[in-house]
Structure 1
Amino acid sequence: MKPIVFIDTEIEPKSGKILDLGGVKGVGSSFHSNSMVDFAKFLYGSEYVCGHNIFNHDLKYIQNALIDAGLDDPNIIDTLFLSPLLFPAKPYHKLLKDDKLQTEDTNNPLNDSIKAKDLFFDEIAAFQQADAGLKQIYYQLLRDQKEFFSFFHFLGYQADKINIEKVIREKFHSQICEDSDLAKIIVEYPIELSYCLALINTDNRYSITPPWVLKSYPAVERIMFLLRSSPCLTGCAYCDQALDVHQGLKRFFGFNDYRTYAGEPLQKNAVQAAVDNKSLLAIFPTGGGKSITFQVPALMSGINTKGLTVVISPLQSLMKDQVDNLEKLNITDAVTINGLLDPIERAKALERVVNGSASILYISPESLRSKTIERLLLGRNVVRFVIDEAHCFSSWGQDFRVDYLYIGDFIKSFQETKSLLEGIPVSCFTATAKQKVIEDIRDYFKEKLSLELEVFSSNASRTNLHYEVFEKHDEEEKYNTLRNMIEEKNCPTIIYVSRTRKAEVLAQRLSQDGYQARAYHGQMD
């Protein structure tokens, strides 16, 4: 075995003082002390220095020890960067939890050094077991990158120079768009491309990119989008299958076609716009198939890019209903986090978002102010924000809510924190077709996020609803007309009034007149 040492340090965060040092050599001898002099002696004779997150953490604290050990230009191997490449699929390696090593004994550098050694040799085994084409691809993309160079050097692995673009297209023929600009990505983002290909190559649909990778390499999300979520104009083996909105509808909901409104394919057009990564405003009547319109693209993105769609809704009961309805169809990809959950339910919901088993998250607009929710979303590839009851943006809407006005600010801050190369698209849904409300919604997103919302609206009327206006001049005349209508229809009836007090008074009077009437309003316990 080539001379290799595995090391770890414990550092006082504020002062940078070295509190403890640990190390173990490939041949088995170990070290545990805070003496830099003794540590340098232990390092002597090693050609390779390996650790977990050594580039970003340990290396800057042990430079003097490396020099004293005669390692002016050591071969550094970091197991952190190798892990998403070689263990991209669930269940992930037992020693890994995001960017940390799983260990029973905290603050013990020797123990962590041993864990890094175990992980490193597991990574070697994983690389050696990979198929020849994948090994060639990784080598050609990463051989000149400092995070990976020494790994290949330690293995003594080399591959003949190949047409890397051609090899990638052949291996991932039906898994990436044939029209993607692979040549440019290879040159500009070799590490990000490697991590994307590793994830695409997995069989588990709920495997995701680790949060630390998304933070360190924000272009990963963009590369995954370009490879698997940007439909090409001419069509290809991948896009014709994975990005076909009719196949998505059939796969998840069993329907052959989308709902039409007065012969207009409004639902299908809105779904296609979302799959085409456009921002949109859909004005659908209540019960008009709104949910499927954003669920189909969300579920498709969950598979294609491991993406998370965030649905913002003001109604907690509706969130739960939508999750329950999906589960009845054996679709378990949706989860809600709201105030109705007990601590155990909330913890489980959070974990499902973290571990990638959820591709749709329902939350309230108030939740966007929660640091927990913000951290949660920063760890996932958020591909779209869906805003339900979008008329709440408008002071002209009947349900104006101030918290809705924070949504744009949150999305803007979120995009900046993640250093995203492109903005996240937005889908808005409402049943209110007032022109002023539509203008307010579009103006809001234009001003806040520079988004142009494409409008999908139908002039078709609801055939199951009938309206009639009766002109009455006083309360007594209105009440008598109401009684006549109740007696004429002789069926369960809902009476809407404009005030809570009016509901109480009207229910009491009807009860006194022999009707079984009760008041129901938002101020009831």
Structure 2
Amino acid sequence: MAIDLEVGRNTGRIEQLAALRADTGDTVVFPPGTLQDALGKMDALSDGAAFVIGHNLIAFDLPHLRAVDPNRRLLNMPVIDTLRLSPLAFPRNPYHHLVKHYQDGQLLGDRRNNPLLDAELALLVFRDQEDALKAMQDAAPDRLLAWHWLTTRDDTASGLDWLFMTVRRARVPSLAEAQAAIARLLAGVACHSASTRLIEQVAVEPTRVGWPLAY
């Protein structure tokens, strides 16, 4: 399920939101109605969904939703944030062609705020990302193995476990497997002693170093 919010710059309040199920095409849009009614409908729409997708979802949409009502079921679902995933899927051009303002993570839509369109675009970005990672799996399996482990240490992005299992056709690797893959990737391109320290640090502080090392 993809979601998108529009929040007032001065008020910090949710002024518009939309949710879209890719598998059924069902949607929730606010306004019309009340915000609480829309959140209830979003919860119902999320039933049976594997994860929630959004662009800048972790840093923007989810905190605003949590501030309004921290008890919504969708807040406990696995998450895929296409903004975080873009530098991995598109390393030479991390700001996908649908992204208009990479500095604030907004998506390319029409000139008026349109959260339903942005939710649709987030799904398009995700599909391109999945295709790019599948192509990368054939060319650089160690990289995908390392990313699978490094990016799933943080529970807020646990939807990535599903994505990498789909792309790699394998479960999340063990720490030893991840460290071995990282060592192979760094061999000959980084200082051996520095690489050794970094690989050791992965085991000690996986949440802190996971995403920076993946990038």
TM over 0.5: yes
2:210 aligned with 1:190:
yes
Change (3 A) 1:66 1:91: closer
Summarize the alignment of residues 120-519 of structure 1 with structure 2, pairs less than 5 Å apart.
120-130=126-136, 131-154=140-163, 156-157=165-166, 158-161=171-174, 162-180=176-194, 181-186=197-202, 187-188=204-205, 189-195=209-215
Task: Tell me which of 104, 109, 130 is aligned to 1:104.
Answer: 109
Equivalent position SS for 1:62:
helix
1:14 to 1:66, Cα distance in 2 relative to 1, 3 A:
same
Normalised TM-score (structure 2): 0.76
Q: Is the 8 A contact 2:130 2:163 kept in 1?
A: no
Q: Which amino acid aligns with 2:82?
A: T
Query: Does the 8 Å CA contact 1:66/1:72 hold for their aligned counterparts?
Result: yes
For residue 15 of structure 1, the aligned residue among 5, 11, 18 is 11
Q: Give the Å deviation of 1:99.
A: 4.5
Letter in 2 for 1:110: L
- Structure number with bigger Rg: 1
Q: Deviations over 1:406-435 (max 9, x none)?
A: xxxxxxxxxxxxxxxxxxxxxxxxxxxxxx
List runs of 5+ in structure 1 lacking aligned partners: 196-525
Stretches of structure 2 that go unaligned for 5 or more consecutive residues are: none
Displacement of 1:98 in angstroms is 4.1
Report the AA paired with residue 128 of structure 1: K
Amino acid of the residue matched to residue 88 of structure 2? Answer: L
State the number of aligned residues: 190
Following superposition, the deviation at residue 6 of structure 1 comes to 0.6
**C-alpha separation between the residues in 2 aligned to 1:74 and 1:159?**
19
Alignment of 1:39-118 (within 5 A): 39-44=39-44, 45=47, 46-63=49-66, 67-68=71-72, 70-71=73-74, 73-90=76-93, 92-96=95-99, 97-106=102-111, 107-118=113-124
Deviation at 1:89, TM superposition (A): 0.6
Task: Name the stretch that deviates more: 142-151 or 154-163.
Answer: 154-163
Preserved CA contact (<8 Å) 1:94 1:102:
no
Q: 1:98 to 1:89 in 2, by over 3 A?
A: farther
Quote the Cα distance in structure 2 between the aligned partners of 1:127 and 1:99: 24
Do 1:43 and 1:66's aligned partners in 2 also have CA atoms closer than 8 Å? no
Q: Which one-letter code corresponds to 1:38 in the other structure?
A: A
Kept in 2, the 8 Å contact 1:23–1:32? The answer is yes
Structure-2 separation of matches of 1:90 and 1:128: 17
Partner SS, residue 53 of structure 2? strand
Greater RCO (Cα-Cα under 8 Å, separation 6 or more): 2
Q: Output the CA distance in 2 between the equivalents of 1:74 and 1:52.
A: 16
Give, in whole Å, the separation in 2 of the partners of 1:12 and 1:152.
Answer: 33
In 2: Cα distance, 1:9 partner to 1:91 partner: 22
Quick one: percent identity of the two aligned structures? 25
Q: What is the aligned counterpart of 2:30 among 15, 29, 33?
A: 33
TM-score by length of 1: 0.33
